[in-house]
Structure 1
Amino acid sequence: MRALDDIVVLDLSRVLAGPWCTQNLADLGASVIKVEKPGAGDDTRGWGPPFLKDPETGAQADAAYYLAANRGKRSITVDMATPDGQKILRDLAAKADVVVENYKLGGLKKYGLDYASLSKINPRLIYCSITGFGQTGPYAPRAGYDFLIQGMGGLMSVTGEKDEFGGTPQKAGVALADIMTGLYSTIAILGALHQRDRSGAGQYIDMALLDVQVATLANQALYYLVSGNAPVRMGNGHAAVVPYQGFPVADGFVIIAVGNDGQFAKLVTELGHPDWATDPRFTSNGARVTNRAALIPLLEAETKRYTMAELIAALEKRGVPCGPINTVDRVFADPHVQARGLQKTVPHTQQGTVPSVASPLRLSASPVSYDHGPPLLGEHTDEVLREQLGLDAAQLAGLRDKGVI
């Protein structure tokens, strides 16, 4: 058994936030039906390089970006702009447990695929809409993109080097607003499924990238709300913990993350200055935060005497949290990452297998399985429409001739 193997998800989303949510549901065992436009499909199929290549023709195939968020799903192609396509999707929604979509505000109403329409034919339906700004408020009609949301939601204001070091606001190297919205959407859907078990009724879920980005400012948001002062960019430093940043070594940088005064004493003892642990400027975390400008250069002068391997080994022996700043290739070469099995290979109809990254969800009784890779465009159209709607070969051929599927 898998945790959600009795749940059917109709996935009308594309790009990242929605597909990330539905990939989580697929990892947990849900049957996810990914609906794509005939002949085009999810935009991310073309977001490369790098691309896969057709092993027979050498032609460009799906992009790595698409592979990252679509494991475990079945793809069908349906033109929802046609009446026949709309009927197919309504019939599928009538049998589904969950619909996930990320169209602009009201974008699906004209097709009869909005929550108000679908809930009438399936009162148990859980319908999750993902937009940039939500269903209400002055920005609701706007399109929302991760980069815009990272800026508008405050993340970029606290990411990047300090002003005095020539820094500018920076976005994260991963589309975090999209990813986090996908995760929160997954949580909301699981909560709604549990509620349905008790009430028998579905419900509507309004997810907004901006809401998620503001919520996940976390301590930085509360720093402002409590103090009235807007937090600023700290580079790799921490606003409230010192030392907690990257330090230069002979061959790169090492992160040192001192969480308490005992760890600080161990750090400075290793660096040859145990007296710093009793220096009134540095005896407590609060004092170290106040005197950050004095302490950090002292530490940097000592860490430069070590190589990365030497300093990490020495600090690990003393129980001081530390680690390298790895490039992505070094991440997958790390022995712990390998021991945890974070790099996976999943089946693929065209390629045989393709690389993937393991889900971090580790359930003892209903584990994630990796028996289905990302689908080809429309790979499962006939299979799903036969299975879910009982369409026969002649009906499928007719729909295909009309360009509906």
Structure 2
Amino acid sequence: MNDAVRLPLSGVLIADFGRVLAAPYATMLLADLGADVVKVEHPDSGDDTRAWGPPHAEGEATYFLSVNRNKRSFAADLGDGTSRRRALELVRRADVVFENFRPGTMAKYGLSYEQARAVNPGIVYCSVTGFGSGEGAALPGYDLLLQAVGGLMSVTGPEPGEPVKTGVAVVDVLTGLHAAIGVLAALRHRDATGEGQHVEVNLLSSLLSSMVNQAGGFTLAGAVPGIMGNRHPSIAPYEVYPAADRPMVIAVGNDRQFAALCHGLEAPELAADPRFATNTDRVAHVGELAGHLSRLLERRTAADWFEILTPLGVPCGPVNDLAEAFGLAERLGLAPRATITTDDRPMDLVANPIGLSRTPPRYDRRPPRLGEHTDEIAAWLDS
């Protein structure tokens, strides 16, 4: 990118005490947009995810690499007086602090929000917790646990009574996104007023908010949803079906699309069937509809149906693996990879999905090695 372009968060210094996923994901997104993120890690082991493998890329855990680009690593043992002094000085100079320790941990080191605000009244201080800082402060915030107690697994799985977690730690990711939004809002407020503030996000609240229509059905109508496999509680046909060679998805959202689907399947009689005439009818008779569609779709491959149905305006596609998904994004010109070439070897990471016409995300720094920037940061903090 053009070095003369000032990135949106240029000049913003983030003291990042976060570990594992939610906070590091948030700070990576902000680093991509220009923030200077100093990742504070224990000198012996660093971020837990440095040891989370396989898979590895040339000896480094890909889990860690996936959420820590564009950062500098500062090794500091907060139990040591010199490290604590430097950490507090970093907080004094920073615009933003991120931390995701259990509530009360940062206070033990003199780094709580109140202690940070005492030396830096304009600080934006983001705390990421599992269950908040009140009655749930002592509960461990692991993504799998949140998917269970937060209701996500109650609507995810092949059959009633068979709950399944998602294939990634989606609660952490969603919480990281909420944290980044909260910090940006607080920075905007500080720019206008000079006032810093405490931003608090937790995994449970983030999950409940992200369950959108399912959560809204409960709060508005008292409806408690259950596991429906790949079916949708309010739309049909909207699930996975067997094609001749592999599973595929049909995601029909209205009656017009359903008529087009029936035309493409050479079964116009389905669109005229009173059981399937409207979306409400189709939801009421979803099992019968699935039987008809499965028999029709098994006549051709998923790729064939994609070619036939897509031009008709029917949302559909095969169930891809990740290699196929990246291939699709590349064919569509979405540039899903971010290549960093500032080290001895190029490193392909997943691109930041935010497109900005004037100030696109940067990919300047590979994920740091543990303590890689300690000397330069320590010298700056001691000056």
Calculate the TM-score normalised by the size of structure 1: 0.91
Letter of the 2:98 partner, please give it: V
> How has the CA–CA distance of structure 1 residues 251 and 378 changed in structure 2, closer, same or farther, with 3 Å as cutoff?
same
Task: Give CA-to-partner distance per residue, 1:252-282, whole Å, 9 cap, x none.
Answer: 0111111110110011111121121121111
Distance 2:74 2:342 in 1: 16
Report if aligned partners of 1:348, 1:375 keep a CA contact under 8 Å in 2: no
Indicate yes or no: 2:1 matched with 1:4: no
* Deviation of 1:119 (Å): 0.4
Letter of the 1:143 partner, please give it: P
Distance 1:272 1:377 in 2: 60
* Deviation of 1:168 (Å): 0.7
Task: Give CA-to-partner distance per residue, 1:180-223, whole Å, 9 cap, x none.
Answer: 00000000000000000112011011111111011111000111
* Deviation of 1:295 (Å): 0.9
Indicate yes or no: 2:115 matched with 1:122: no
Indicate yes or no: 2:180 matched with 1:186: yes
Where does structure 1 differ by over 3 angstroms across 4 or more consecutive aligned residues?
335-338
Question: Which stretch of structure 1 is more off in the superposition, 93-102 or 224-233?
Answer: 224-233
Structure 2 partner of 1:176: 170
Instruction: Choose from 93, 97, 106 the match for 1:108.
Output: 106
Report if aligned partners of 2:86, 2:381 keep a CA contact under 8 Å in 1: no
Query: Tell me, what secondary structure is at the counterpart of 2:295?
Result: helix
Structural RMSD (CA) = 1.3
Structure 1 partner of 2:3: none
Indicate yes or no: 2:144 matched with 1:159: no
Report if aligned partners of 1:131, 1:208 keep a CA contact under 8 Å in 2: yes
Report if aligned partners of 1:14, 1:42 keep a CA contact under 8 Å in 2: yes
Indicate yes or no: 2:381 matched with 1:381: no
The aligned runs of 1:211-360 (5 Å cut-off) are: 211-334=205-328, 336=330, 339-347=333-341, 349=343, 352-360=345-353
Query: Tell me, what secondary structure is at the counterpart of 1:108?
Result: helix
> How has the CA–CA distance of structure 1 residues 26 and 233 changed in structure 2, closer, same or farther, with 3 Å as cutoff?
same
Task: Give CA-to-partner distance per residue, 1:231-271, whole Å, 9 cap, x none.
Answer: 01111111100001111001101111111101100111111
Query: Tell me, what secondary structure is at the counterpart of 1:366?
Result: coil
Indicate yes or no: 2:47 matched with 1:42: yes
Question: Which stretch of structure 1 is more off in the superposition, 329-338 or 258-267?
Answer: 329-338
Structure 2 partner of 1:21: 26
Query: Tell me, what secondary structure is at the counterpart of 1:356?
Result: strand
Distance 2:285 2:155 in 1: 21
Calculate the TM-score normalised by the size of structure 2: 0.96
> How has the CA–CA distance of structure 1 residues 14 and 321 changed in structure 2, closer, same or farther, with 3 Å as cutoff?
same
* Deviation of 1:229 (Å): 2.5
Letter of the 1:103 partner, please give it: F
Structure 2 partner of 1:397: none
Distance 1:88 1:245 in 2: 54
Letter of the 1:286 partner, please give it: T
Instruction: Choose from 95, 103, 108 the match for 2:93.
Output: 95
* Deviation of 1:293 (Å): 1.6
Report if aligned partners of 1:280, 1:287 keep a CA contact under 8 Å in 2: yes
Letter of the 2:349 partner, please give it: S
Indicate yes or no: 2:361 matched with 1:368: yes
Identity %: 42
Structure 2, unaligned stretches of length 5 or more? 1-5
Distance 1:76 1:216 in 2: 34
Report if aligned partners of 1:331, 1:337 keep a CA contact under 8 Å in 2: no
Distance 1:306 1:387 in 2: 65
* Deviation of 1:384 (Å): 1.9
* Deviation of 1:338 (Å): 6.3
Structure 1, unaligned stretches of length 5 or more? 54-60, 391-405
Query: Tell me, what secondary structure is at the counterpart of 1:339?
Result: coil
Distance 1:110 1:228 in 2: 43
> How has the CA–CA distance of structure 1 residues 335 and 187 changed in structure 2, closer, same or farther, with 3 Å as cutoff?
closer
Letter of the 1:20 partner, please give it: Y
Q: How many residues align?
A: 378
